[in-house]
Amino acid sequence: MSAHNSPQRWPLLLVMAATLASMAGTAAVFVTREGAWSYLVATGCFLQLLGWTGHCRRRTGGAR
């Protein structure tokens, strides 16, 4: 494989870790009824956005 076609897995790993963080934060919000866990959920969603953006940018070469 050439360097341009080789997959980089860090964006998808970021997406999976952020998904788990968001799910854990959601569960913590429902269990503890504290709003502070919402920051974990929001951060997880933002990191998912960054991960998917990095994954798609890598696949399409930055083309829109």
- Whether 34 is in a domain gets the answer yes
- In the chain, the number of structural domains is 1
Residue 8, φ and ψ in degrees, nearest 5? -110, 125
pLDDT (mean) for 17-24: 95
Structure tokens at 55: 């994954």
The model carries a pTM of 0.73
Per-residue pLDDT at 45: 95
- Whether 22 is in a domain gets the answer yes
Cα end-to-end span (Å), the chain:
24
- Whether 2 is in a domain gets the answer no
Enumerate residues 6+ apart whose C-beta is below 8 A from 12.
51, 55
Per-residue pLDDT at 59: 67
- Whether 42 is in a domain gets the answer yes
Range of the domain at 25: 10-60
